[in-house]
Amino acid sequence: MHREVVATKDIRRRRNKDKSAGTPCNFTKGDFVLWPRIDSRLSNNKLLVRWFGTFEVTEALPHSFKVRHLVINKLYNVHGSRLKFYADSSLDVTEELVAHVGNQAMVVEIEQLDDHRFATFVAERVTAVGVVGQPAS
């Protein structure tokens, strides 16, 4: 009797899963999207923005999208369910929009240590780093 109950429950579970196929994503190349902040490296600061970006959709893959960050120009492969529509491809990307995106608390990746020295006038070490996607300064 136990096997019959488990089999019936399994059939019902599969049928319900097949019914809920999810919602199709309607992003196209050139659209601008937002990406939610879920990063275990950050503290649980409630004041940080929940959705950040703006990211441009560069390619639609079968189960995900390739998006490009406007400031650091890094490409990410993101599942469509993790993206939120922001604007279509006719959005005018101004310096103000790029500055706003750059001021969000996004975690960046250090590519290399460019230079380090001891600054005697402030008595501390100064390190110049190269950030992924940013030109060397």
**Interatomic CA distance for residues 64 and 69, integer angstroms:** 16
In this prediction, the residues of the chain whose per-residue pLDDT falls under 50 are: none
- How long, in residues, is the chain? 137
Together in a domain, 119 and 57? no
Query: What whole-number distance in Å separates Cα of residue 92 and Cα of residue 109?
Result: 27
pLDDT at res. 40? 52
pLDDT score for 9? 92
Same domain for 93 and 115:
no
pTM value is: 0.57
Domain residues for the domain of 135 are 107-137
List the CATH number of the domain containing 95: 2.30.30.140
Give tens-digit pLDDT for 33-65: 988 865 555 566 665 657 777 889 999 888 889
Integer Cα distance of 114 and 107 in angstroms: 19
Instruction: Give yes or no: residues 37 and 97 share one domain.
Output: yes
- Predicted confidence at residue 53, as pLDDT, reads 77
Structure tokens belonging to residue 120: 């005697």
Same domain membership, residue 121 and residue 91: no
pLDDT at 66: 94
**76 and 89 belong to one structural domain:** yes
How far, in Å, CA of 58 to CA of 122, rounded? Answer: 45
pLDDT of res. 8: 92
Residues 96, 122 within the same domain: no
